[in-house]
Amino acid sequence: MKHRYLPMTETDKKAMLEQIGISDVQELFNDIPESVQFKGEYNIKKAKSETALLKELTLLAAKNADLRSHTSFLGAGVYDHYMPVIVDHVLSRSEFYTAYTPYQPEISQGELQAIFEFQTMICELTGMDVANSSMYDGGTALAEAAMLSSGHTKRKKVLLSSTVHPETKEVVKAYAKGQYVEVVEIPYRDGVTDLDALKSEMDDTIAAVIVQYPNFFGRIEPMKELEEIIHSGKAMFVVSSNPLSLGALTPPGAFGADIVAGDAQPFGIPTSFGGPHCGYFAVTNKLVRKIPGRLVGQTKDDQGRRGFVLTLQAREQHIRRDKATSNICSNQALNALAASVAMTALGKKGVREMAVSNIQKAHYAKQAFKNKGFTVAFDGPSFNEFVVELNQPVKEVNQQLLKEGIIGGYDLGRDYPQLKNHMLVAVTELRTKEEIDLFVDRMGDYHA
Partner 1 sequence: MHKEDQALIFELSTSGRVGYSLPEMDIPEVNIDDLIPTDYIRTAEPNLPEVSELDIMRHYTALSRRNHGVDSGFYPLGSCTMKYNPKINENVARFAGFAHLHPLQDESSVQGALELMYDLQEHLIEITGMDEVTLQPAAGAHGEWTGLMLIRAYHEANGDTKRTKVIVPDSAHGTNPASATVAGFETITVKSDENGLVDLDDLRNVVGEDTAALMLTNPNTLGLFEENILEMASIVHEAGGKLYYDGANLNAVLSKARPGDMGFDVVHLNLHKTFTGPHGGGGPGSGPVGVKKDLIPFLPKPVVTKKDREFVLDYDRPQSIGRVKPYYGNFGINVRAYTYIRTMGPDGLKAVTEYAVLNANYMMRRLQPYFDLPFDRHCKHEFVLSGKRQKKLGVRTLDIAKRLLDFGYHPPTIYFPLNVEECIMIEPTETESKETLDAFIEAMIQIAKEAEENPEIVQEAPHTTVIGRLDETTAARKPILRYQV
184 binds partner 1 per the rule CB under 8 A: no
167 belongs to the binding site for partner 1 (CB under 8 A): yes
Is residue 140 close enough to count as binding partner 1 by CB under 8 A? yes
164 contacts 263 by C-beta, under 8 angstroms = no
In the list 58, 154, 371, 373, the residue contacting partner 1 (rule: CB under 8 A) is 58
Residues 6+ apart with CB under 8 A from 315: 289, 290, 291, 292, 324, 325, 326
Amino acid at residue number 330: S
Is position 134 an interface residue for partner 1 (rule: CB under 8 A)?
yes
Does residue 332 belong to the site contacting partner 1 (CB under 8 A)? yes
Closest approach of partner 1 to the CB of residue 229, in Å: 17
Footprint (CB under 8 A) of partner 1, residues 268-327: 270-276, 288, 294-309, 311-314, 316-324, 326-327
Q: Which stretch binds partner 1 (CB under 8 A): 201-209, 232-240, 340-348, 371-379?
A: 340-348
Q: How far apart are CA 379 and CA 376, in angstroms?
A: 6
Q: Is the peptide bond before 381 cis (omega within 30 degrees of 0)?
A: no
Residues 3-22 touching partner 1, rule: CB under 8 A, are 3, 5-8, 12-13, 15-17, 19-21
DSSP 3-state assignment of 375?
A: coil
Contact flags string 386-425 toward partner 1, x per CB under 8 A: ---------x--xx--x----x--x---------------
Give 42 or 154: the residue with its C-beta nearer to partner 1. Answer: 42
Residue 326 C-beta: closest distance to partner 1, Å:
7
Residue 376 contacts partner 1 per CB under 8 A: no
Q: Say whether residue 71 binds partner 1 (CB under 8 A).
A: no
Cα(8)–Cα(15) distance, integer angstroms? 11
Count the neighbouring beta carbons within 10 Å of the beta carbon of residue 22. 13
* 190 touches partner 1 by CB under 8 A: no
Distance CA 224, CA 201 (A): 18
- Is residue 205 a contact point for partner 1 (CB under 8 A)? no
- Torsions phi, psi for 154 (to 5 deg): 55, 35
Of 236 and 296, CB closest to partner 1: 296
Residue type, 198: L
DSSP strand pairing (306-310 vs 279-283): unpaired
